[in-house]
Structure 1
Amino acid sequence: MSIKAHALIIDDDSGNNRVLAELLEREGVSSTIIQNPGDLETVVDNLTECNIVFLDLEMPERDGYEVFEILAADSRFQSVPIVACTVHTNEAAQVRRTGLDGFIGKPLDPQRFPGQLERLLNGEQVWDIR
């Protein structure tokens, strides 16, 4: 696919961050990682481009729902898809009600991910619980 885009990954697990960043890189998408949700405002203030956000739901300090509320209130993210990327597939209904743009269950499937990414960057929602 090889698209020029930049993703923001917000997840406290370094292994998950590495896997997602690698999958994005294969598709030509660069990424910025926030491993500590407490760093959100500082990183976002210095971010020059963001086309998609991948957000874990369960993190220390701030959970994904709180992070989503902060991003959703920021005008820079009004047209940026924010996608839950989590092992907690039982939360898909709550994620949808909260207003996120999609849900991708972990572990990520390297075969399916390119298509999921393309649909999300084209403005479609993806609800892939598996």
Structure 2
Amino acid sequence: MTPWNCVMAVDDDPDILLAFKDVLEMEGYAVLLARSGREALELLRKGARPAVILLDLMMPDINGWDFRELQAADASLASLPVVVVSGQGVSASDVARLGVDGYLKKPVDLDQLLSTVERYVRPQPLQPQHA
């Protein structure tokens, strides 16, 4: 079972993945890391259900564009929110064509990253109080 506060980061740059992991875990999020679109799809097909996916576009193997096409074609994955995180200039029409939920430009502003993630992570389930 994926934790309620899970964020998946998909990027082929290990330094960026480590930075996302460090920042998000310090804020209390669970983090899944994938180094390619293929690895991300494998995790999702094995049952991972992150609250949001942070997706780089330029990756070898399965890039962000192809990942989105495959994700959208899979009914069990299509509704997972995706925020593109890319250093390449992505226009508003590119974002619309991808059908993603947001876009963050690299280098990512940490406050913007955290406020974006916060929009997608569900509030923590209330635990019953025992008297």
> TM-score interval w.r.t. the shorter chain?
0.7 to 0.9
Q: Secondary structure, in 3 states, of the residue corresponding to 1:88?
A: coil
Q: Which amino acid aligns with 1:111?
A: D
Could you say if the C-alpha distance between residues 98 and 49 of structure 1 is closer, same or farther in structure 2, counting changes exceeding 3 Å?
Answer: closer
How far 1:48 sits from its partner (Å)?
Answer: 3.5
Residue of structure 1 equivalent to 2:34: 34
Could you say if the C-alpha distance between residues 4 and 40 of structure 1 is closer, same or farther in structure 2, counting changes exceeding 3 Å?
Answer: closer
Residue of structure 2 equivalent to 1:22: 22
Task: Give the share of equivalent positions with the same residue, in percent.
Answer: 26
CA–CA separation in structure 2 for the residues paired with 1:60 and 1:29: 27
Q: Identify which range, 107-116 or 80-89, moves more after superposition.
A: 107-116
CA RMSD of aligned residues (A): 2.2
Residue of structure 2 equivalent to 1:13: 13
Structure 1 alignment gaps of length 5 or more: 123-130
Structure 2 alignment gaps of length 5 or more: 123-131
Greater relative contact order: 1 or 2 (C-alpha under 8 angstroms, separation 6 or more)? 2
* Deviation by residue 1:45-87 (Cα, 9 ceiling, x = unmatched): 2233321111100011222110011112222333321110111
> 2:4–2:121: 8 Å Cα contact kept in structure 1?
no
Runs ≥4 residues deviating over 4 A: none
